[in-house]
């Protein structure tokens, strides 16, 4: 009886099923992890409400277009505008609180988070649209199957690359040569006060990131990517410093001859394994990715053809 009702009311079934899968997709992609963003519960409520709206828009668009009501495109365009505002809202919020962090995120990390929040609303619309479309064209069972498949695809898209995709991470000892601090053979900074040198000896950890190719060298040289590494490690393990202690600020410096990146952190929880895993799982920022070798190859091929 219920199955007959679904088949008899395809429009309503498509809207309900599409909206449900759109919201489910947004719930699947919503995470409040060690970064504690979005905050619980109010930050999550905002994004769940937006996910419901996105799912409803994607689901309603299909029966509207199916019945030749082409004004539905206007609503999708309006939704795109609203989700761009979500991106601006996240950027403004994170920028406003970033100066309160002992180890800031940095502008590149903030922009990456803002882009992700906008993009995930579009994935919710896409999931709802596909599910509703299959209900209209085939039947409720097809909408159910495509909705579940879309959730799996969304889960795959949610996983971005980490720093280990472009570099090998190695833990190395810190070395103090008088006031000069080295991570491996990479000079980091001059530490003037003996008290700070003692703290760095006792609490500091050093890492060297060796890029896997020439593109990776340019990527890890990006200041935004470096700041993201320092922020993530400090967020997961704490940081052994207070405001006004510039000598105890975690730092990343390049070895200019090799292109390797040296990292010095001062975790509050000095757990070597956790620190290593924290560095390895730092997300690779889209704004930091560079591919100069590919661009140079295209340029050379273009000149050859010309």
pLDDT digits (tens, 9 = 90+) for 149-181: 988 888 877 777 889 888 999 999 999 888 899
Question: pLDDT of 225-248, one tens digit each?
Answer: 999 999 999 888 888 888 877 788
CA dist 293 → 171, 216, 217, 224 (Å) = 29, 10, 11, 21
Helix (H, G, I), strand (E, B) or coil at 210: strand
Residue ranges covered by each domain of the chain: 8-159, 164-293
Q: What is the mean pLDDT of the chain?
A: 82
- What pLDDT score does 3 carry? 55
CA angle 127, 131, 136 (to 5 degrees): 145
Instruction: Give 22-76 pLDDT, tens digit per residue.
Output: 888 888 887 655 555 565 566 778 878 888 888 888 888 888 877 777 777 777 7
> In the prediction, which pLDDT does 305 show?
44
Nearest CA among 299, 226, 297, 221 for reference residue 258 = 221
Nearest alpha-carbon partner for 216 in 161, 292, 150, 157: 292
Cα–Cα dist 274/272, whole Å: 6
Q: What is the pLDDT of residue 303?
A: 56
Give Dmax (Cα) for the chain.
83
The torsion angles phi and psi of 228, rounded to 5 degrees, stand at: -65, -40
What are the two backbone dihedrals, phi and then psi, of residue 205, each rounded to the nearest 5 degrees? -130, 145
Q: What is the reported pLDDT for 91?
A: 87
Cα–Cα distance, 135 to 142 (Å, whole number): 6
Q: Could you tell me the pLDDT band of residue 4, with boundaries at 50, 70 and 90? A: low
- The sign of the dihedral angle between the CA atoms of 128, 132, 133, 138 is positive
Interstrand relation of 261-265 and 251-254 (parallel, antiparallel or unpaired)? antiparallel
Of all residues in the chain, the percent with pLDDT exceeding 90 is 14
Instruction: Identify whether the C-beta of residue 103 lies closer than 8 Å to the C-beta of residue 231.
Output: yes
As a whole number, mean pLDDT of residues 278-288 equals 86
CA distance 54 to 36: 24
Nearest C-alpha neighbor of 169 from the set 93, 265, 51: 265
């Amino acid at each position: 009886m219920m199955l007959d009702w679904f088949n008899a009311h395809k429009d309503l079934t498509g809207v309900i099923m599409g909206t449900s899968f759109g919201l489910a997709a947004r719930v699947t992609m919503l995470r409040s992890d060690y970064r504690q963003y979005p905050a619980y519960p109010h930050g999550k409520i905002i994004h769940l409400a937006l996910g419901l709206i996105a799912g409803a828009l994607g689901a309603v668009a299909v029966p509207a277009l199916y019945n030749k009501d082409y004004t539905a495109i206007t609503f999708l365009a309006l939704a795109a505008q609203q989700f761009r505002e979500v991106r601006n809202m996240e950027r403004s919020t994170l920028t406003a609180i970033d100066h309160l962090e002992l180890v800031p995120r940095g502008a590149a990390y903030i922009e990456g988070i803002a882009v992700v929040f906008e993009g995930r609303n579009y994935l919710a619309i896409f999931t709802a649209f596909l599910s509703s479309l299959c209900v209209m064209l085939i039947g409720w069972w097809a909408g159910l199957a495509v909705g579940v498949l879309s959730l799996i695809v969304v889960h795959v898209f949610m996983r971005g690359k980490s720093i280990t995709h472009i570099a090998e991470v190695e833990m190395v000892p810190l070395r103090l040569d008088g006031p000069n601090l080295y991570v491996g053979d990479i000079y980091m900074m001059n530490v003037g006060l003996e008290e700070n040198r003692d703290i760095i000896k006792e609490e500091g950890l050093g890492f060297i990131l060796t890029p896997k190719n020439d593109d990776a060298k340019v990527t890890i040289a990006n200041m935004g990517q470096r700041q993201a590494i320092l922020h993530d490690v400090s967020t997961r393990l704490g940081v052994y410093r207070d405001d006004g202690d510039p000598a105890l600020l975690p730092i990343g410096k390049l070895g200019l001859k090799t292109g390797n990146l040296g990292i010095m952190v001062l975790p509050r929880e000095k757990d070597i394994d956790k620190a290593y895993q924290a560095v390895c799982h730092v997300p690779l920022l889209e704004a930091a990715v560079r591919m100069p070798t590919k661009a140079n190859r295209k340029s050379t091929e273009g000149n050859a053809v010309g």
